[in-house]
Structure 1
Amino acid sequence: MPPSTPAALAAVSVATRFYSPALLNHCLRSYLWGASYAAAHGITFDDELYFVSAMLHDVALTDPFDSHRVSFEEAGGDLAWVFGVAAGWPADRAARAEEIIVLHMRDDVAAAVDPESHLLQVATAWDVAGRRAEEFAPDARAMVLAQYPRLGFGEEFLACFEDQARRKPDGAAAAAVGSGGATRIRANPLDA
């Protein structure tokens, strides 16, 4: 179960207000996939920090928070820092949420170096493009998808990334689209 701290509950409120139902469910699934992966691999992580980061990691794909100057993960990280400070977190904890969101779109971060960034990378790569399918048992998949269905997430997310790629050709979304992201998203076994 997600944490029930004030910051976690506030992150749910922000996500519920600004995400489409498909993006909201993606963020909730990302938390659950990451927590499940951590349990299976004995990865210790900060549950509240990971949850808030998972809930806010795509907020800059939404119209109110889309930056026309920086990549969505950078803009989302900045917003997570503001959110964390406003939630009463020390600046260094807020900076960790920022870092996790930025790093989830970078090269792999080892769990031993940064467990929360690693979990968000694994979880979002699975939910978006079906990577590491062997890590997620069919019964766990069915349970998570029953609770938080995809609701056309793949096509909605692809449209967001293609839009980001057109406007921000140097960003991680453009790199993902340019390296066959559409094919991977459309082949995701979670949509089968």
Structure 2
Amino acid sequence: MFPETPAAAAALSVATRHYSPALLNHCVRSYLWGQMYGTAHGIAYDNELYYVSAVLHDIGLTEAFDSHRLPFENAGGHLAWVFGIAAGWPAERAARVEEIIVLHMRADVSPAADPEAHLLQIATSWEVVGRRPEEFSPEVRAELLVRYPRLGFGTEFLAHFQDQARRKPGSAAAASVDKNVAGRIAANPLEGHPPT
């Protein structure tokens, strides 16, 4: 299920240290939703690269790595590049993890153009606002949410986005707040799942 590589293990260690429990579970679920979607749609992708991107995609929202100027996805992408280089990846591979994290907050990317960014967009938009619910059966949702519960993720994530919007009014997070991300989070079918 999870890639068993030194870089994957190190990414999870970084995430475990710096994320809240709700953000950590969100990032792990994002990897798993994307993996399920990719398998169902026959999308070939680099599993380690996707895993590291998914696990670190919100690191720019954490207190330790938040930038006072850069949107969270750019700050997180820069950190992920540093992570990739420190993990011994070639510069091109480190640049890919940065690109995937930045792209997950941009306009839709096709699987042909960038399969890893496509999977992260699918997974995070499902996680946050419930986009494409037909892709994930109620049984699969229930099983995954028992293993990795939301722990108040919607409320916490909305607070992060509202904070980003106040401090970085030109960011994608600010645009999401302007487009009623609060209402879309509240309407997400995953938010109604009973807590465990």
Q: What range is the shorter-chain TM-score in?
A: over 0.9
What is the aligned partner in structure 2 of residue 89 from structure 1?
Answer: 89
2:185–2:191: 8 Å Cα contact kept in structure 1? Answer: no
Amino acid at match of 2:36: S
What is the aligned partner in structure 1 of residue 166 from structure 2?
Answer: 166
RMSD (CA atoms):
0.4
Structure with more helix by fraction: 1
Deviation at 1:45, TM superposition (A): 0.4
Off by >2 Å, runs of 4+ in structure 1: none
Deviation at 1:139, TM superposition (A): 1.2
What is the aligned partner in structure 1 of residue 64 from structure 2?
Answer: 64
Instruction: State the SS of the aligned residue for 1:189.
Output: coil
Q: TM-score, normalised by structure 2?
A: 0.97
For structure 2, the residue ranges without an aligned partner over 5 or more in a row are none
What is the aligned partner in structure 1 of residue 32 from structure 2?
Answer: 32
What is the aligned partner in structure 2 of residue 128 from structure 1?
Answer: 128
2:104–2:120: 8 Å Cα contact kept in structure 1? Answer: yes
What does the per-residue CA deviation read over 1:8-65, in whole Å, with 9 as the maximum and x for residues that have no partner?
Answer: 0000000000000000000000000000000110000000000000000000100110
In structure 2, C-alpha distance between the alignment counterparts of 1:57 and 1:42, rounded to whole Å: 23
What does the per-residue CA deviation read over 1:82-132, in whole Å, with 9 as the maximum and x for residues that have no partner?
Answer: 000000000000000000000000000000110000000000000011000
Deviation at 1:138, TM superposition (A): 1.1
Deviation at 1:142, TM superposition (A): 1.0
What is the aligned partner in structure 1 of residue 80 from structure 2?
Answer: 80
Q: TM-score, normalised by structure 1?
A: 0.99
- The total of aligned residue pairs comes to 192
In structure 2, C-alpha distance between the alignment counterparts of 1:182 and 1:167, rounded to whole Å: 18
Deviation at 1:191, TM superposition (A): 1.4
In structure 1, C-alpha distance between the alignment counterparts of 2:141 and 2:4, rounded to whole Å: 23
In structure 1, C-alpha distance between the alignment counterparts of 2:31 and 2:139, rounded to whole Å: 17
Mapping of residues 1-192 of structure 1, within 5 Å: 1-192=1-192
Amino acid at match of 1:158: L
- Percent identity (aligned): 70
For structure 1, the residue ranges without an aligned partner over 5 or more in a row are none
